[in-house]
Structure 1
Amino acid sequence: MALESTGDASDRKNLLLLIQLRWIAAIGQLVTIWFVHVELAIALPLIEMLAVIAFLVGLNLVSLLRYRHRERVTNTELFLELLLDVGALTVQLYLSGGALNPFISLFLLQVILGAILLETWSVWTLVAITSACFIGLTAFHRDLPMPHSHLAGFWNLHVQGMFICFALSACLLVAFITRINANLRRRDARLAELRQQSAEEEHVVRMGLLASGAAHELGTPLSTLSVILNDWEKMPALARNSELAQDMTDMQAQLARCKSIVTGILLSSGEARGEGTIRTGVRAFLDEAVADWRSLRAPVAFDYENAFAPDEPVISDLALRQVIVNVLDNALEASPLWVGLVARRQGDTLCVEVSDRGPGFPPEFAAELGKPYRSTKARAGAGLGLFLVVNVLRRLGGAVEAGRRAEGGACVRLTLPLIGLSGGRP
C-alpha cells in the first residue's frame, strides 16, 4: 500500500505539471493568434480558435479541481489528459493550414511527454493517434494564406514559424522533463526508503518472534527454580543457616525479576492474558520508567529533569519504555560516572534528551544511526539496541537524532508525536 501511494503521489505531481504546461499552451496560442492576425495581417478564424483556447482553460479548471480533491491519479487519466491536448492541437492546426503549419511538430512534444509519464500501451496508442492526426491534416484543413512565402532563408515566414516551434518545444521539454525527472527521482528514493524500512521491520519481527519464543521456553525452568527455592526455604537445616537463607531470598528476588521480564516480553507481543490497556500520563510514565532504571542500574550520578507540561494522557507502552531504558543503558555504559535525562514538551511533541560524558559518537556514525549491528562497541551483537530504538520510534511516528555535546560526550534526542503515544495514528 505504501509503495502504491508513493506512485500515486508522483502521478499527482505529473498531473500538476501537465496543468501548468496547458496554461503555457493557452497563453502561447493567444499570443500567436494576436501576432499572426494583427501584426502579420493573416486572416484567421478567430471565433473557432478562441473557442479551442476556452476549452483548454475549462479543462484546466476541471483538472485543478480533480488535483485538489482526489488523492489518486491513474495512468488512464493522464492518458486522457494528453489525448485532449492532442485533440485541441489538431483542431487549431486544422483551422490554420493543417500539416503545412510549422507548429505541426508540437505533436512530437505530446508524444515525448507521454513516453515519460505513461505506461507502454498508452504511449503507443498516443503515437498512433498523433500519426493519424498528422496524416488527416494533410488532406483536411483550412488553407492559410502565407505572405512573403517567396523569400528565402530565415526570412521565409514558414521557416521562422518552424524556428519558433523548435525553440518553444526545446525550452518546454528541458523545463518540464527536468521537473518530471525530479519527481521520478524523489519517487524512486522514497521507494528505496520504504523497501529499507520493510527489510528492517522484517528483521524486528524475526527478533520479536525469537524473544517471544524464548520467553515461553524460559517460563517452565523459572517456575521449576521457584518451586525448588520454596522447598529449600522450608527445610529446617537450610533455614538455620543465615547466610544460605539470605542467598535464597536474593535468588527469589532475582527469579521474580526474571518472571517480570518474561511477562513484559509476552505483554508487549500481545500474548499475555488478562491484561488491559494501561493509561497514564506522560510525566508519570517517564517518572516510573526512570525510577525502575535507576533502582536496577544504580548510577553514580544521574541528573533527571521532567519538564513536560502540561501533562498529557497516554497509553503505557512497554516498547517505548524499553526504548528509554536502552538509551539510558548505552549512556551509562559510555559514561559510568554521569548520565543526564531531560524531558520537555514542544507543541504536540514529547522530546527526551539523554546525555553522557563519554567519548561521544564519531562523525560517520550519524549516517548509520539505527542500522543493525552498527555500533562503536567492539563486541558481537552490538548495535541492536539503537536499531530497535529507531524502529519503535518510527512505528510511533517519531525520530532519533544523535550528536556530540559541546562540553564533551554524546547526546541522543528522541522526539515523539503525542498522538502516537495516545494510541492514535501518527
Structure 2
Amino acid sequence: MAARPDVNASTQPGPLAAASPSLPPRGGVRLRALVLIRWGAVAGQLFTAAVVHWGLGFSLPLLPVGGAIALSALLNVAVSLGRPASARVDDREAAIFLAFDVVQLAVLLYLTGGLTNPFALLLLAPVAIGANVLSLGSNIALSLLTIVSIALLGLFHQTLPWLGRPPEFPEIYQAGVWVGLTLTALLITLYGWRLAEEARQMTDALAAAQAALAHEQRLSALGALAAAAAHELGTPLSTIAVVAKEMLREVEADDPLREDIELLAAESDRCRSILARLSVDPAGDVSDAYTLVPLPALIEAAAQNYRREGITISFESGPMGEGVPTTAPIQVRSPEIMQGIGNIVQNALSFARQTIRITTRWTTEWSEVEVSDDGPGFSEALLDELGTPFISTRQGVEGHMGLGVFIAKTLLERTGASVSFGNRGGGRDGAIVVVRWPNPVFKAT
C-alpha cells in the first residue's frame, strides 16, 4: 500500500502560514527557579548536618562538609548578583548548574559514607529536575555524570558516621544499591524527559492553533469593519452624487468648473461601486462571521480560497435517509470552521493527483462533511496518531511542523464536531477526513 508521506498543511501559503510561520524557540528555565531550588538544598543540607552531628551525636568531618555547603551557597550568591532573577538561562547553563549540584552532593556523600548513607537518594534530585527542563543531549550528559558519581561513591568513600563501630554492609547489598540508583537515574531521565517533551510539544501546538484562530478572527473583524464602513459611507456618498448631478444641470457646457464637477460625479459613482462590491462579494466579505448559513455553502466558502490549477474540487450535498429535511442544516460561519475546513482541504490538495470530493450529508441526528482525495492515502503507521501535534514525515523541512491536521482538529472540536481519519479502499483510492456535528439545526426550527 502506498504511504501518504505527510499529514501537514499544504505547500501553499495559507492562513496558518500567515498567522504562525514558525514557533518561537523555547526559552529554557528562569534563573530564579534554579536559585530557589539550590537555596532549599543548602538549607536542608545545613539542617541535616546539624541534626546528625549535634542532635544524634554522630561525628562528622565538619570542616569539609561545611566547606562544600558554603561553596554551594557562595555560588548561588554569585549567580544571583551577576544576573537578574527573572532572567532565563539556556539549556547549556542549566545543565552546568545542575551538574555542579550533582558533584557537590557526591562530595558530601563521599565524606559521609558513600552509598551506605541513606541520603544517597538525593543524587537523583538534579536528574529529576533536569528531565523536565533540559534537552535530550543535556539530560544524557547529566545522567552519565550522576551514574559515574554513583559508581565512584560505591568504590571510594569515607566511613559512615556512627556511634561506635560502623556497620558492615555485605558487598551484594552495596552492589544492589549501586544498581538500583543507576537504573533509577536512567528511568527518571528517559520517562521524565519524554513526558515533559510531550507537554512542551502540546503547549507549542496549542499556541500555534491559537495564533491561527486569532488570525482568522482578525480577518473577520476587518471584514466587519469594512461592512460597517460601506454602510455608513453609503448615505453621504449618495448625497454627494445627488448634489453633483444637480450642479451639472446648473452649470453651462463652457463653464470652466464643469470639468471639475464631472470629475466629482464620476469619482462619487466609483466610490459607490466599490462599496457595493464590498457588500455583495461573498469571496471578499468575511463580515458575517456570526451569520447562520447553510452548511454546504459554508464548506464551499471555506474551501474556495485553496483551489489550485490541475486539481478539481467537486462539491456534493444532500440528505441521508427518509423523513430528513431536504433543505440543508444551518451553521454558524465561525473562524474555527473556516480555518479548520480550510486546513483539511489544503492538506488534501498537497497529495491529490487530480480530484478532491467534498460531500456534505445530514440526517435529523447529525450533519457531516467528508473530504476525500485520490492521493496515496494516510500511512497506516501514522493513522492512529493523526490529530496529535508534530506528526509529519516532513517535520522541520521547509517550515513543515506537522501542525496542520492538529490545528484543524482542535478548532473543529471547539465547535462541537468530531474528526476522524481513514483511507478509501485500504489506502489505494486516497484518504478520507470526516467531520461530524451532532444535533443539526434546520432553518424551519
TM-score of the two chains, using structure 1 as the length reference: 0.41
From the two aligned structures, give the one with the greater helix fraction.
Answer: 1
Q: Relative CO higher for 1 or 2, CA cutoff 8 Å, sep ≥ 6? A: 2
